[in-house]
């Protein structure tokens, strides 16, 4: 079927009119070529457009379609063509610039206002979006793409100027680049002799190039999201959004100027920022957060990390591998933060110490003085003890993150926050104003990108389908140190606290064939299951590739598998995942190779 010939048929004898018809068709083609709609939907929309524009608007037979008939026609369209149905309004924005001179001519020919009037009478005005998302981080951009796929008219507001938020720009992604490359350097330097690789003495690195490699990965990923926005028909506004009232959001555009959008639904996805340490001013040069730690210009001689959580240990590892003398000061007696199993945490502490990182556990930082050549930190045993001073060139503050809602104008809509500045939500991510939802770091739950992603999909499904799903009991955590640490489900301490009976099975990587061939045998898999039903309760892994292996555990946990289910599933040989299977065997009966 040739859509173009329809347009020609409809066009009357007049040459200009025929031209304008074809031009309008080209606008639809533009949607099509940008993958904004699927072709069957496009076909439907072109048919309906020709019916209305061609017959109603051009006055060939004005009485043929009544308002109610147009309304009905529109009602029966799937969401995307319905959107296109109003394209006469939309097109003026989406039309390519090159076509701009013809645009005015086109308007003059086709007497648009009458048609616009029809649309306005029955549909929302073009400026009101189905969904407005504040924040283009993992939560925001995933929600925007999902909403586009569900056929909602969606706008995403981001003030950073690039999409992806903390995760892509100054978090997970750049840190993984540095961790991977610094690990390769470290491995070449210290771990080649026993493998029979020679001639790598005097290996060194170029920090500037390492940073450039990091930036390249970041840019390609953030650009990828912009492409996905276009593909899914998401409108992207670069600027800072703030609530004017419950439906309207003012956007201070980064390029200057101001605009406003209103939405039937609004999602707050503004994320989080690093919690500053009281008394130490962050300058991102000497006193740094994770953001500064990703772009130091030279390797500091010594570095103190305040906070032995995942961020502190990962960034500490990077700079320690590159030659810094790293000391981690942690208030608790355990590293890895909440959720990490005590046994795994101890094993991790042992290996990290072996790699040359110093630890001061159960130690409180009283204050710091950055005035001298070196930054002086006063530390004290957490339970009271002898005060001492430690010195460092750079201090990394990694004591956690806090929700970020500054400048959002929450006071204009009477939104209250809880005692830790989180937006309070219910089970469907609704805030106290039900059409405003909130997801990601800025609300409850662990501050993890994959959790935000799950919530984004669920929140959009609650809007479009009335039902969504996130299982907060099965959110994996991974620490990308060497060896990696990963866990999902409950740990021993949590089970003890809730008085739940459990059974444990472990398997060391030193008994795994693939780990042996890799000469990489540190770590173990620990599986916790219910003694009565054998149902999996938690999985904790420290060792090579733990971050990938945890996916299998999360899947098993989500399905409610028993340890026997895993143990009876065939795993390829020789792989690291056999250790996972053997740990499951050890849980319900006995491991073969240990």
Partner 1 sequence: MNATKVLRQATAHAERMPSIRFVGKRPIPEHIDHTPKPHPASPTGALPANFAKHGSHTSFSSYRDHAQQFGPLRKTIHTANIGSTPGAALGDVSPPKGQYFDRHHLPGKFRRTAISVDEMEALESGGASMVA
Enumerate the active-site residues.
573
CB of 303 to partner 1, least distance (A): 33
Q: How many residues bind partner 1 (CB under 8 A)?
A: 35
Stretch 468-507 residues interacting with partner 1 (CB under 8 A) = 469-470, 472
In terms of CB distance, is 147 or 561 closer to partner 1?
561
DSSP helix/strand/coil, 514: helix
Nearest to 443 by CA among 402, 399, 489: 402
- The Cα 132–Cα 475 span in angstroms is 27
> Is-cis flag, bond preceding 483, omega within 30?
yes
Q: Kindly state whether residue 193 participates in binding partner 1, applying the rule CB under 8 A.
A: no
Pick from 75, 194, 465, 570 the residue near partner 1 by CB under 8 A. 465
C-beta of 416: minimal distance to partner 1 in Å? Answer: 7
With respect to partner 1, which residue has the nearer C-beta, 297 or 419? 419
Q: Which of 224, 407, 434, 531 binds partner 1 (CB under 8 A)?
A: 434
Helix 172-190 to helix 310-321 angle (10° resolution) is 40
Residues 509-548 that bind partner 1 (CB under 8 A): 533-535
Those residues whose C-beta lies under 8 Å from the C-beta of residue 474, and which sit 6 or more positions away, are 488, 489, 554, 557, 558
Of the candidate spans 15-23, 34-42, 117-125, 431-439, the one that interacts with partner 1 by CB under 8 A turns out to be 431-439
For Cα atoms 494, 500, 501, give the angle at the middle one, nearest 5 degrees. 120
432 binds partner 1 (CB under 8 A): yes
| Cα–Cα distance measured from residue 385 to residue 545, given in angstroms and rounded to the nearest whole number | 40
Q: Which is nearer to partner 1, 473 or 574 (CB)?
A: 473
Of the residues 201, 466, 498, 501, which one makes contact with partner 1 according to CB under 8 A: 466
Provide φ and ψ at 147, rounded to 5°: -65, -40
Sort strands 394-397 and 287-288 into parallel, antiparallel or unpaired.
parallel
Residue 580 in the binding site for partner 1 (CB under 8 A): no
Which listed range, 32-40, 273-281, 343-351, 461-469, lies at the site for partner 1 (CB under 8 A)?
461-469
Position among 112, 221, 424, 493 found at the interface with partner 1 (CB under 8 A): 424
Q: State in angstroms the smallest separation of the CB of 534 from partner 1.
A: 7
What span, in angstroms and rounded, lies between the C-alpha atoms of 136 and 142?
8
Nearer to partner 1 by Cβ, of 78 and 445: the residue is 445
What distance lies between CA 590 and its chain's CA centroid? 40
Told to check if 15 binds partner 1 by CB under 8 A, we report no
Minimum Å gap between C-beta 247 and partner 1 is 10
* C-alpha pair distances (Å), 207 with each of 176, 181, 317, 511: 15, 10, 15, 37
- Give the shortest CB-450-to-partner 1 separation in angstroms: 14
Residue with the two structure tokens 């070449």? 188
Please report, for residues 174, 302, 353, 474, the alpha-carbon distance to residue 326 in angstroms, rounded to integers and kept in the order given.
20, 6, 10, 33
Stretch that binds partner 1, among 27-35, 159-167, 444-452, 506-514 (CB under 8 A): 444-452
Q: How far is the CB of 192 from partner 1 (least distance, A)?
A: 44
Per the document, the length of the chain is 594
Q: Which two tokens stand for residue 5?
A: 């010939």
How many CA atoms lie less than 13 Å away from 382 in the CB half-sphere?
10
Site string for partner 1, 369-388 (x = CB under 8 A): --------------------
Question: Phi and psi at residue 320, in whole multiples of 5°?
Answer: -65, -40
Region near partner 1 per CB under 8 A, out of 91-99, 266-274, 393-401, 465-473: 465-473
| Distance separating alpha carbons of residues 344 and 567, to the nearest angstrom | 22
Nearer to partner 1, 39 or 75 (CB): 75
Applying CB under 8 A, among 402, 430, 450, 571 the residue interacting with partner 1 is 430
State both tokens at 238: 């670069």
Minimum distance from residue 467 beta carbon to partner 1 (Å): 4
416 forms part of the interface with partner 1 (CB under 8 A): yes
- Using CB under 8 A, pick the residue from 210, 361, 433, 493 that binds partner 1: 433
Q: Which of 334, 562, 577, 587 binds partner 1 (CB under 8 A)?
A: 562
Q: Is 561 in the site for partner 1 (CB under 8 A)?
A: yes
The total of other beta-carbon atoms located within 10 Å of residue 131's CB is 27
Question: How many CA within 13 A on the CB side of residue 590?
Answer: 3
> By the criterion CB under 8 A, which residues form the site for partner 1?
246, 416, 418, 424-430, 432-435, 443-446, 465-467, 469-470, 472, 533-535, 556, 559-562, 564-565, 568
């Amino acid at each position: 079927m040739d859509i173009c010939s329809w347009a020609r048929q409809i066009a009357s004898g007049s040459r200009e009119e025929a031209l304008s018809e074809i031009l309008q068709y080209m606008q639809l083609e533009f949607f099509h070529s940008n993958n904004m709609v699927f072709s069957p939907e496009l076909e439907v929309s072109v048919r309906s457009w020709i019916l209305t524009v061609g017959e109603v608007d051009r006055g060939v037979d004005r009485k043929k379609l009544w308002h109610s008939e147009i309304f009905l026609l529109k009602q029966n369209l799937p969401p995307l063509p319905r959107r296109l149905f109003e394209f006469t309004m939309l097109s003026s924005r989406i039309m390519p610039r090159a076509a701009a001179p013809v645009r005015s001519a086109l308007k003059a020919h086709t007497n648009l206002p009458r048609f616009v009037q029809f649309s306005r009478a029955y549909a929302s005005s073009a400026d009101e979006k189905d969904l407005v998302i504040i924040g283009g981080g993992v939560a925001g951009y995933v929600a925007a793409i999902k909403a586009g796929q569900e056929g909602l008219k969606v706008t995403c507001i981001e003030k950073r100027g690039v999409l992806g938020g903390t995760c892509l720009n100054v978090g997970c992604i750049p840190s993984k680049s540095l961790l991977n490359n610094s690990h390769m350097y470290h491995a070449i330097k210290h771990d080649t002799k026993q493998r029979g690789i020679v001639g790598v003495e005097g290996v060194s690195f170029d920090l500037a190039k390492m940073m450039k490699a990091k930036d390249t990965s970041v840019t390609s990923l953030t650009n990828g999201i912009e492409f996905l926005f276009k593909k899914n028909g998401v409108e992207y506004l670069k600027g800072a959004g703030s609530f004017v009232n419950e439906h309207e959001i003012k956007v201070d555009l980064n390029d200057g100027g101001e605009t406003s959008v209103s939405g039937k639904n609004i999602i707050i996805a503004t994320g989080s920022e690093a919690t500053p340490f009281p008394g130490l001013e962050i300058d991102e040069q000497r006193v740094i957060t994770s953001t500064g730690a990703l772009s130091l210009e030279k390797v500091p001689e010594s570095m103190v990390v305040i906070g032995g959580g995942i961020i502190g240990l990962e960034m500490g590892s990077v700079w320690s591998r590159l030659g810094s003398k790293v000391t981690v000061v942690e208030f608790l007696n355990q590293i890895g933060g909440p959720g990490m199993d005590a046994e795994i945490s101890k094993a991790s502490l042992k290996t990290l110490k072996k790699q040359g990182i110093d630890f001061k556990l159960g130690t409180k930082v009283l204050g710091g003085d950055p005035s001298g050549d070196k930054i002086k930190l006063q530390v004290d045993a957490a339970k009271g003890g002898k005060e001492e001073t430690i010195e460092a060139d750079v201090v990394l503050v990694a004591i956690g993150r806090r929700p970020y809602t500054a400048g959002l104008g929450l006071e204009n809509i009477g939104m209250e926050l809880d005692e830790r500045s989180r937006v309070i939500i219910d089970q469907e991510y609704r805030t106290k104003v039900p059409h405003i939802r909130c997801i990601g770091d800025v609300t409850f739950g662990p501050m993890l990108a994959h959790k935000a992603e799950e919530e984004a999909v669920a929140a959009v499904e609650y809007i479009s389908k009335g039902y969504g799903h996130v299982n907060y009991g099965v959110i994996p955590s991974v620490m990308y140190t060497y060896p990696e640490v990963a866990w999902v489900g409950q740990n021993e301490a949590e089970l003890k606290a809730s008085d739940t009976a459990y059974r444990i099975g472990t398997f060391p990587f030193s008994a795994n064939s693939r780990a042996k061939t890799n000469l990489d045998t540190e770590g173990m898999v620990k599986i916790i299951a219910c003694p009565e039903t054998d149902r999996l309760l938690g999985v904790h892994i420290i060792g090579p590739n733990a971050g990938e292996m945890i996916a299998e555990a999360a899947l098993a946990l989500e399905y409610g598998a028993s340890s026997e289910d895993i143990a009876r599933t065939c795993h390829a040989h020789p792989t690291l995942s056999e250790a996972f299977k053997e740990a499951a065997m050890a849980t319900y009966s006995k491991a073969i190779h240990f």
